[in-house]
A and B are shown apart, each in its own frame.
Chain A
Amino acid sequence: DAGITQSPRYKITETGRQVTLMCHQTWSHSYMFWYRQDLGHGLRLIYYSAAADITDKGEVPDGYVVSRSKTENFPLTLESATRSQTSVYFCATQDRGPYEQYFGPGTRLTVT
């Protein structure tokens, strides 16, 4: 039982291409999150979801799109990738309440 998985783990794409990062959880946690990690910034929230079909913007949402049709999946799409979106992307889940978040292994994305 992997808990939370992300795919792909590594991705290289070209500027202007659309790319989708996948996140899957087996816990049925209500909340799911997407963060990006950049040097000098720590982890910054891109989008989050409180339940299926409920999503909201985080701190740095521009250039990203999310959907959550099923509780267990939370894909992140870069509609037209830019070099500034080169980063490590982490998906996380959280059960209801002020509890800790559980992170996936991350996807390293390079936009050339």
Chain B
Amino acid sequence: DQQVKQNSPSLSVQEGRISILNCDYTNSMFDYFLWYKKYPAEGPTFLISISSIKDKNEDGRFTVFLNKSAKHLSLHIVPSQPGDSAVYFCAASPQTGANNLFFGTGTRLTVIP
């Protein structure tokens, strides 16, 4: 039973354009959300996070939006660069407890030069 869902397994975007990666969750107890980026043969690396008390968080070219009522978050990358080509995982966590992360299945982003 996947509590965090990424329904698009892949996305292709032209260099310079906006990439939008989407994520939905089912557990209303989730309070903290993260995006990870993963290159082949490497571990996931943290990209950006957002707490449920916010609806937007920006870090350079990366912005995460959270819509709690819809249980939906998205990652915007502007402008997209070829080095952004990777698999992106959405993750969610309740702030209480042991800080377990529940991951989505990932979206493979390809940025075309």
Chain A positions near chain B (C-beta within 8 angstroms): 4, 31, 33, 35, 40-45, 48, 50, 56, 58, 90, 92, 94, 97-106
Contacts and interface: CB of A to CB of B under 8 A. Distances in A.
B43 A90 contact: yes
Interface stretch (B12-20, B71-79, B93-101): B93-101
Contact of B100 (A58, A99, A105, A106): A58
Most chain B CB within a 10 A radius of its CB, from A50, A98, A100, A106: A100
A43 B6 CA distance: 13
Chain B interface size, under 10 / 10 to 19 / 20 to 34 / 35 or more: 20 to 34
A31 B98 contact: yes
B32 A42 contact: no
A42 B99 contact: no
Contacts, number: 61
B34 A100 contact: yes
A106 B42 contact: yes
Contacts of A4: 43
A53 to B, nearest CB: 15
Contact of A42 (B42, B51, B104): B104
Contacts of A40: 105
A105 B102 CA distance: 19
3 nearest CB pairs, A to B: A103-B43, A100-B46, A42-B103
A31 B99 contact: yes
Contact of A56 (B4, B42, B98, B104): B98
